[in-house]
Amino acid sequence: MEEPLVLLPGMMCDERLFSRQIAAISSKRRCIVPSLHGVNTMTGLAMQILAEALPRFALAGLSMGGLVAMEIIRIAPGRVTRLALMDTSPLADPPEMAAQRERQLQKVRSGEMAEVMCNEIIPNYFGEGSSNVMIKELCLAMAKSLGPNIFASQACAIQTRPDQCTTLQSIKIPTLVLCGEADQLCPVARHKLMHELIANSRLVVLPMAGHLPTLEQPQQTNEELKKWLEM
């Protein structure tokens, strides 16, 4: 069997974010979805994953998972055989987001996590005019299973993340940069930037998808991941 594939989920998501990918890939390659909690920095999360992972592995991350994946590459590039960055960004958190995140954190600590997820976060996962009730319900279910303490620690890690543009310029392994065409949180321009920074990377923009193509367009995502795993 090939080296394992480590899949890193987005903020307040778990292995259900990748259920269709795991079903399509796991017959040929072991798929591992670590938990992204326990510490509140990108470096801390990356170190946790490296401590538990096999010496060599393929690595794919979506959204916050992509942020952690870039930090893993920065710390231990020799451990990763190939990299997929999906619906994420190499840039540090912009200052204008600080007040918004702090307000959300206060509401979550006051017991309003479901309200924050339903009204402020999940709607941004989809393109304008797009809606998928089942995916929205799944996102809320994943968030509720993780809880407000993990929301707080993940929000802090995202707030304090470093700029990774220099890290991306050093990447020499096969790399896929993938996003939904209608991603509002991490727009296509961010992925074009990553593609330009990573030599010989492959850029894929999926139509009819927003921030969560693994759920919105699972078949297309699976096809692109399989191509990447054969690069």
Mean pLDDT, range 50-66, rounded to an integer: 97
pLDDT at residue 112, as a whole number:
97
Q: pLDDT, tens digit, for every residue of 88-135?
A: 999 999 888 878 888 999 999 999 999 999 999 999 999 765 668 999
**What per-residue confidence (pLDDT) applies to 2?**
83
Q: How far apart are CA 135 and CA 141, in angstroms?
A: 10
**Phi and psi for 111 in degrees, rounded to 5?**
90, 15
Class of domain 5-93+156-229: alpha beta
Reduced to 3 states, what is the DSSP secondary structure of residue 180? strand
Domain chopping of the chain, boundaries: 5-93+156-229
Mean pLDDT over 151-177 rounds to 97
**pLDDT higher at 166 or 2:** 166
Longest Cα–Cα distance in the chain: 48
**In Å, how far are 3, 118, 166 from 195, measured between CA atoms?**
24, 32, 13
Q: What is the mean pLDDT of the chain?
A: 95
Strand-pairing partners, residue 82, are 58
Looking at the predicted structure, is the pLDDT value of residue 1 above 70? no
What's the one-letter identity of residue 124?
N
CA atoms of 224 and 212, how far apart (whole Å): 14
Torsion region of 38: left, alpha or beta (phi above 0 gives left; psi -120 to 50 gives alpha): left
pLDDT given for residue 196 in this prediction: 98
pLDDT at 129: 59
Q: CA 154, 160, 161 angle in degrees (round to 5)?
A: 85
pLDDT digits (tens, 9 = 90+) for 188-201: 999 999 999 999 99
Nearest to 73 by CA among 224, 187, 197, 186: 197
Residue 90: how many CB atoms within 10 A of its CB? 24
Report the alpha-carbon distance of residue 98 to residue 96 in Å, rounded. Answer: 6
What's the CA gap between 31 and 161, in Å, rounded?
26
